[in-house]
Amino acid sequence: MPGNTFGERFRVTTAGVSHGPGYLCIIDGCPAGLPLGVEDLLPDLQRRRPGQSHITTQRDETDTPEIMSGIFEGVTDGTPIGLLFRNQDQRSKDYGDIKDKYRPGHADFTFDAKFGFRDYRGGGRSSARETVSRVAAGAVAKKLLARHGIRVIGYVTQVGDIRATIADPLAVTLEQVEANPVRCPDPVIAEKMITLIEEVRKDRDSIGGICEMVAVGVPAGLGEPVFDKLKADLAKALLSLPAVTAFEYGAGFAVATMRGSQNNDLFIRKEGRIGTETNNHGGMLGGISSGEPIICRVAIKPTSSLPRSQKTVTQTGDATEILTKGRHDPCLLPRFVPMGEAMFALVLIDHWLRQRTSTLDF
């Protein structure tokens, strides 16, 4: 089935469904000689896993991978890295009542339209649980990028109408992000976000928000001039994640009200290189990295599965109501952060490897 592989030089393929035996991840194109073990994958996997706090789903999965191939004596050997994640806490019976009903906001109807049938247990192939494979692959990509001084970090800037003002995105640390369960580096605003999430959970509802991501240390020159622009691949990567409905980089939609004289970033010489005074272009010009920090944001919709009655129809079009049982996040933002970082890192390492063949001296 097409559409399950991402990347050109650093390729990631995933397989599995949320209520099946587990998930498979194959990473092809990782250079040989990278020290790598399960301990390198676990930190980000633990940030993504369910049941990590009182404001996330309480499904209990350890998400500890089994390395099947691609690593010999603690280092990558240049062959495909195979990872296996076994599902341990499925409750498929929670979905028995909805097998003939379409859940609002889900891919139930569109999967039926495409394939003629669907796996009604959870989200099937469209479940956010699939991202366990992406986060693992992203951890490998992050380790490769770190060898070249490139760092990716994400954090929550908005939940509902509660917004954090991040004065200097480049100064945000992982310790600040991980200091609270909502992963907002502003501790005062984070408490307000947590309170809101708890309120919507009690109201049997959900809430959305915004995640911002920053990459520093990215050299100028990554990305292709036309169809494979770095910004285009970042947009595709992040929009491929469940629940992402919008993407922007740099000044984003704010450019709609700017004049050219306000939006243009003037070139200067700084720190021994050519750079810009400002960064409205978000680190990318013409779809190619400029050497400035790459900054982008995505909007995450409220969780579609709600423990309250909603109108819908059956597969035959008959009007009915639906109440989704099971365990679901009242807000997807806290667990989204490592997912977004992973896709960001996968795009960067793929283009970094591609750039190595663009010039003789890269």
Greater pLDDT, 134 or 119: 134
Query: What is the reported pLDDT for 285?
Result: 98
For the chain, give every domain's residue range: 5-355
Query: What is the reported pLDDT for 307?
Result: 85
Mean pLDDT, residues 337-350 taken together: 98
Terminal-to-terminal C-alpha distance of the chain: 36
Mean pLDDT, residues 208-236 taken together: 97
How far apart, in Å, are the Cα atoms of 42 and each of 55, 69, 75, 138, 329? 21, 17, 17, 11, 21
pLDDT digits (tens, 9 = 90+) for 31-89: 999 999 999 999 999 999 876 667 776 555 678 999 999 999 999 999 999 999 998 86
Query: What is the reported pLDDT for 91?
Result: 60
Mean pLDDT, residues 186-204 taken together: 96
Query: What is the reported pLDDT for 219?
Result: 97
Q: What percent of the chain has pLDDT over 90?
A: 75
Q: What is the secondary structure of 100-136 as a DSSP string?
A: TBPPTTSSHHHHHHHHS----STTGGGSGGGHHHHHH
- Of the candidates 343, 350, 332, 348, the one whose C-alpha atom is nearest the C-alpha of residue 134 is 343
Parallel, antiparallel, or unpaired for β 288-289 and 284-285? antiparallel
**What is the topology classification, in CATH, of domain 5-355?**
Chorismate synthase, AroC fold (3.60.150)
Q: What percent of the chain has pLDDT over 70?
A: 94
Please report which residue ranges of the chain form alpha helices under DSSP H: 38-48, 108-115, 131-146, 174-177, 187-202, 230-239, 260-263, 333-355
CA 224 to CA 233: how far, in whole Å? Answer: 10
Q: For the whole prediction, is pTM greater than 0.75?
A: yes
Parallel, antiparallel, or unpaired for β 273-276 and 319-322? unpaired
Mean pLDDT, residues 140-145 taken together: 98
Query: What is the reported pLDDT for 326?
Result: 65
Q: What is the mean pLDDT of the chain?
A: 92
pLDDT digits (tens, 9 = 90+) for 305-330: 888 899 999 989 999 999 877 667 89
Query: What is the reported pLDDT for 71?
Result: 97
